[in-house]
Amino acid sequence: DIAPIILHNNKKKTMGGTFLTAAQQQALESTAECLASKGKGITACDESAGTIGKRFEAVGITNTEEHRRLYRQMLFTAPTCEEYLCGAILDPETLLQKSDDGTLFPQLLQNRGIVPGVKPHLKVYTLPGTGGDTVMQGLDSLAVRCKKYYAEGARFAKWRSPIVIDTSSGRPTDLAIRANMSDLARYALICQSEGLMPIVEPDVSLSGSHTLEQAVSVNTKVLAELFKQMIDHGVYMPGTTLKSNIINPGKECPVSYTVDDIAKANVSVLEQTFPVAMKTANYLSGGQSLEDAAARLSAINKFNKKGPWNLSFSWSAAMQLPLLEICRGKGGLQLEGMRKLYIEELKIASAASKGEWTGKEGDGDHKGDRKRKLEDDIQVT
């Protein structure tokens, strides 16, 4: 039960997880190891009823609890999905839902070797005086909810802290970065105390006109602050997982970058900030298409020569929006077609997580406004 020690000013200090027994540390680390399985990733299906309802209604599907259950069941039972998935992030509603044969979804996932997790955060709140920066609510009641989620079968949790880059207004502010990363650290500490392995998700948005170089600067600052806060809070680092954005220029950035430019920038930031005590980073899609996200993830893995980490995926919209498009105008869920496409998408994501995906020429590149305008003019003429 002895925690690692270091010397600081000739005095012994413990480093993280001192509130946990050796067995508790091992349980958390075991979950983190499962989520670091090579060639596998995490399916993110933790959208609230309201968020998934908007996606349903956009393609003509009525937003009912039964439709949500059937849709999630398809994601969990698609043939061979366990060959590409090691974890699944659920909405609290989904923890209590059952498959057609009466098996609770967390148990169904465990039976397939997929670790069930949960999204415990609540609503976004605007931080006064920052010009629009936000923090996530839900810490006050988190311990009680984590205890409940563990009893319902969850073995990890995921907390998202959204960050927006707006160079014209000086966002994100230093206050917003400190507040969000401190919240993520406290969340991680509370989760570990209740037996849930925490995924920390600083999500720097793809929106904006910032350059790749500006994105690197902000993301380096965000991740450095996150890991400092986690260590300062006494979080047991080997029993945690990172889910972050792929570092990209803003969607409206006028400068063009190749997929290799983007990949090298991501690897550089990891080398400067990411603790080797943590086993995996599972990137979110964050508004990227599946083709771009896969090309960038594959290139990141190719250029990662020094880091010991597993670098994989935890994608939602990039995979699920194409699935829902199958249903457009059909009057309901097209489960068979969705299953087939889902497995094809997982194969792409798995290959990317091993650095083995090769898409079409140009996949993963960022085409700046000037280049897009030139291509549009050529097409018109």
Is 201 annotated as catalytic?
Answer: yes
User: What backbone phi and psi angles, to 5 degrees, belong to 45?
Assistant: -130, 50
Closest by alpha carbon to 236, among 15, 16, 3?
16
In whole angstroms, give the CA distance from residue 82 to residue 85: 5
Structure tokens at 348: 């792409």
Is 93 annotated as catalytic?
Answer: no
Q: Where are the beta strands (DSSP E) in 74-194?
A: 85-90, 115-118, 124-126, 134-136, 156-163
80-95 as b/e, with b when 16 or more CB fall inside 10 Å? Answer: ebbebbbbbbbbbebb
Closest by alpha carbon to 227, among 202, 190, 193, 264?
202
17-47 as b/e, with b when 16 or more CB fall inside 10 Å? Answer: beebeeebbebbbebbbbbbbebbbbbbbbb
- At 86 the three-state DSSP class reads strand
Q: Which of 40, 119, 158, 243 is catalytic?
A: 243
Q: Which of 29, 47, 194, 201 is catalytic?
A: 201
Query: Is the bond into 120 cis (omega within 30 degrees of 0)?
Result: no
Say which residues have a Cβ less than 8 Å from residue 128's Cβ, sequence separation at least 6.
none
In whole angstroms, give the CA distance from residue 265 to residue 216: 7
User: What backbone phi and psi angles, to 5 degrees, belong to 106?
Assistant: -60, -40
Q: Catalytic residue positions?
A: 201, 243
